[in-house]
C-alpha cells in the first residue's frame, strides 16, 4: 500500500465550548500505487481536513491522532518540518479547487514553475525552463513557450488549473491529492481536466485521491470510492459495485439526489423521491449518540440511535459500510 490510514481522528480547539470539536472520527482507508480513490460527501463531511491533516497542513488549533498514517514508508504524524519539505510537493502533491489562490498573481508562470522544479530537483535554470515547456505541453496548453511568459491573471480558469497540475506533477509524485479540482470550472472544461488527471494517473502510474461533491464524476473516473458523512466513512468499496448496489442509506440517497438517478431500480425505493436529501448534517454539538445519519434516514429504527454504529464488511467484494440495516443487493438490469 502507498498510503495507509487507520483510525484517524481530528479535533479542533473551540472558543465556544470547553470540549474540542471532534471533526473526523476513526477514519481508515488506504490507497494503492497507481489507483484512483474517489472521496465523496456533502459539504462539511471532513474531506478536505482529512487531506490537510495527512499533509501536516492543519492549523495549530487542531489535534490529529491515528493508529497508523503511513505514506510510502513515512509515518506522516511524526514528520518534522524539514522532513516534510522533502515529501510535500515531491512525493505527494496537492491541487485545489481554485488555482488562482494557489498561483501568485504577481509572478509569471515561468518563474513559479522554475522555482517549484528547482526546489525539488538539482537542475539548471535552462533545464527547468525546458521541463516547464514539456510539462505545459503534456497538460494540453497550446503554445507552451509563449504561455510560460504569461501571468496567472492572463489565463482562463481551465488554463490556470492545467498550470497547477503541470506544477504538481513536475516532480513525478507518487500520490496526487486533487481536492475539488474542477468545481470552479464550467462543465466542458471540468471533463477535460478530469480526463487529463486520469491520463496522467495511468501514464505516470501515480495514485490519485479525487475529492468531489459529485458522485457522477467519481463513478466515471475512480476505481474505488469512499463516501463520507459527518466526519466518518459511511461506505467504501469498488466504485462500480458501490454505485450499482449502495449498501448505506446515505449513499442510496446521494444517488437518488442525482438528476436522472436510477432510484427505481433499487429494491427498497424511498417512499418519496426528493431532488435532494432532506435535513442537514448535524452540527458538532448536536451529534447523535448512535448513527450520524439517523436524523435523516428513512430506514431508522430505535436500535440505530442507541450506540455508535461499527463498520461491517462484505466479502469478497471488499465492501465496507457503517449501517445495521444495509440495503440488500439487487442486480440492476
Ligand X SMILES: Nc1ncnc2c1ncn2[C@@H]1O[C@H](COP(=O)(O)OP(=O)(O)OP(=O)(O)O)[C@@H](O)[C@H]1O
Does 49 interact with ligand X (rule: CB under 6 A)?
yes
Instruction: Choose the one of ligand SF4, ligand X, Mg ion, none that binds residue 41, judging by a C-beta under 5 to 8 angstroms depending on kind.
Output: ligand X
- Residue number with CB closer to ligand X (47 or 322): 47
- Residue number with CB closer to ligand X (45 or 110): 45
Q: Please state, in angstroms and rounded to a whole number, the distance separating the CA atoms of residues 207 and 224.
A: 12
44: phi then psi, degrees, rounded to nearest 5:
85, 5
| Nearest distance from C-beta of residue 94 to Mg ion, angstroms | 12
Does 101 interact with ligand X (rule: CB under 6 A)?
no
Which cell numbers hold the place of 52?
A: 490537510
Does 48 interact with Mg ion (rule: CB under 5 A)?
yes
Taking the CA atoms of residue 296, residue 7, residue 31 and residue 259 in that order, the dihedral angle to the nearest 10 degrees is 10
Does 323 interact with ligand SF4 (rule: CB under 6 A)?
yes
| Nearest distance from C-beta of residue 289 to ligand SF4, angstroms | 12
In angstroms, the Cα distances linking 297 to 48, 248, 280, 302 are 25, 10, 11, 12
| Nearest distance from C-beta of residue 61 to Mg ion, angstroms | 18
Instruction: Choose the one of ligand SF4, Mg ion, ligand X, none that binds residue 46, judging by a C-beta under 5 to 8 angstroms depending on kind.
Output: ligand X
| Nearest distance from C-beta of residue 5 to Mg ion, angstroms | 17
According to CB under 6 A, which one of 26, 36, 38, 48 is a site residue for ligand X? 48
Which string of DSSP letters, residue by residue, matches 75-110? EGGG--HHHHHHHBTTTEEEE-S-HHHHS-TTS-HH
Does 249 interact with ligand SF4 (rule: CB under 6 A)?
yes
Maximum CA pair distance of the chain? 68
| Nearest distance from C-beta of residue 284 to ligand X, angstroms | 7
Contact 230, 23 (CB under 8 A): no
Q: How far is CA 277 from the centre of its chain?
A: 21
Contact 39, 226 (CB under 8 A): yes
| Nearest distance from C-beta of residue 83 to ligand X, angstroms | 23
| Nearest distance from C-beta of residue 186 to ligand SF4, angstroms | 35
Binding region for ligand SF4 (CB under 6 A) out of 7-15, 65-73, 123-131, 322-330:
322-330
- Residue number with CB closer to ligand SF4 (189 or 324): 324
Does 177 interact with ligand X (rule: CB under 6 A)?
no
x/- contact string, 289-318, with ligand SF4 (CB under 6 A)? --x-xx--x-xx---x----x---------
- The beta strand positions in the chain, using DSSP E, are 3-12, 21-31, 36-40, 62-65, 68-71, 74-75, 92-95, 175-179, 207-212, 224-229, 232-238, 312-314, 319-321
DSSP code at position 154: G
DSSP code at position 63: E
Could you say which residues in the range 7-26 bind ligand SF4, by CB under 6 A? Answer: none
Q: Please state, in angstroms and rounded to a whole number, the distance separating the CA atoms of residues 251 and 298.
A: 13
Which cell numbers hold the place of 160?
A: 490556470
In angstroms, the Cα distances linking 78 to 74, 88, 285, 296, 309 are 9, 14, 30, 38, 30
Binding region for ligand SF4 (CB under 6 A) out of 40-48, 59-67, 116-124, 323-331:
323-331
| Nearest distance from C-beta of residue 247 to ligand SF4, angstroms | 9
Does 181 interact with ligand X (rule: CB under 6 A)?
no
Does 38 interact with ligand X (rule: CB under 6 A)?
no
Which chain residues interact with ligand X by CB under 6 A? 12, 21, 23, 41, 43-49, 59, 61, 213
Amino acid at each position: 500500500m502507498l498510503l495507509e490510514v487507520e483510525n484517524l481522528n481530528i479535533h479542533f480547539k473551540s472558543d465556544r465550548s470547553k470540549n474540542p470539536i471532534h471533526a473526523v472520527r476513526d477514519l481508515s482507508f488506504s490507497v494503492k500505487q497507481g489507483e484512483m480513490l474517489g472521496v465523496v460527501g456533502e459539504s462539511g463531511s471532513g474531506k478536505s481536513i482529512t487531506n490537510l491533516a495527512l499533509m501536516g497542513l492543519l492549523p495549530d488549533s487542531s489535534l490529529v491522532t491515528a493508529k497508523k498514517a503511513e505514506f510510502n514508508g513515512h509515518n506522516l504524524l511524526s514528520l518534522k518540518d524539514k522532513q516534510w519539505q522533502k515529501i510535500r510537493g515531491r512525493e505527494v502533491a496537492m491541487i485545489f479547487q481554485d488555482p488562482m489562490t494557489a498561483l501568485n498573481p504577481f509572478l509569471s508562470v515561468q518563474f513559479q514553475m522554475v522555482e517549484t522544479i528547482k526546489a525539488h530537483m538539482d537542475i539548471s535554470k535552462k533545464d527547468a525552463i525546458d521541463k516547464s515547456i514539456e510539462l505545459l505541453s503534456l497538460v494540453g496548453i497550446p503554445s507552451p513557450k509563449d504561455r510560460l511568459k504569461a501571468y496567472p491573471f492572463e489565463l482562463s480558469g481551465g488554463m490556470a488549473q492545467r498550470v497547477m497540475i503541470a506544477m504538481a506533477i513536475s516532480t513525478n509524485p507518487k500520490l496526487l491529492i486533487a481536492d475539488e479540482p474542477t468545481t470552479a470550472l464550467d462543465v466542458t472544461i471540468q471533463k477535460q481536466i478530469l480526463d487529463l488527471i486520469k491520463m496522467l494517473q495511468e501514464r505516470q502510474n501515480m495514485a490519485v485521491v479525487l475529492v468531489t461533491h459529485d458522485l457522477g464524476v467519481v463513478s466515471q473516473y475512480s476505481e474505488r470510492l469512499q463516501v463520507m458523512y459527518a466526519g466518518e466513512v459511511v461506505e467504501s468499496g469498488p466504485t462500480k459495485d458501490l454505485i450499482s448496489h449502495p449498501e448505506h442509506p446515505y449513499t442510496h440517497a446521494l444517488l437518488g439526489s442525482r438528476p436522472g438517478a436510477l432510484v427505481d431500480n433499487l429494491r427498497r425505493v424511498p417512499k418519496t423521491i426528493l431532488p435532494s436529501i432532506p435535513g442537514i448534517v448535524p452540527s458538532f454539538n448536536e451529534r447523535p449518540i448512535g448513527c450520524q445519519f439517523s436524523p435523516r434516514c428513512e430506514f431508522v429504527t430505535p436500535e440505530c440511535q442507541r450506540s455508535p454504529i461499527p463498520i461491517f464488511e462484505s466479502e469478497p467484494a471488499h465492501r465496507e459500510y457503517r449501517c445495521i440495516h444495509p440495503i440488500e443487493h439487487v442486480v440492476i438490469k
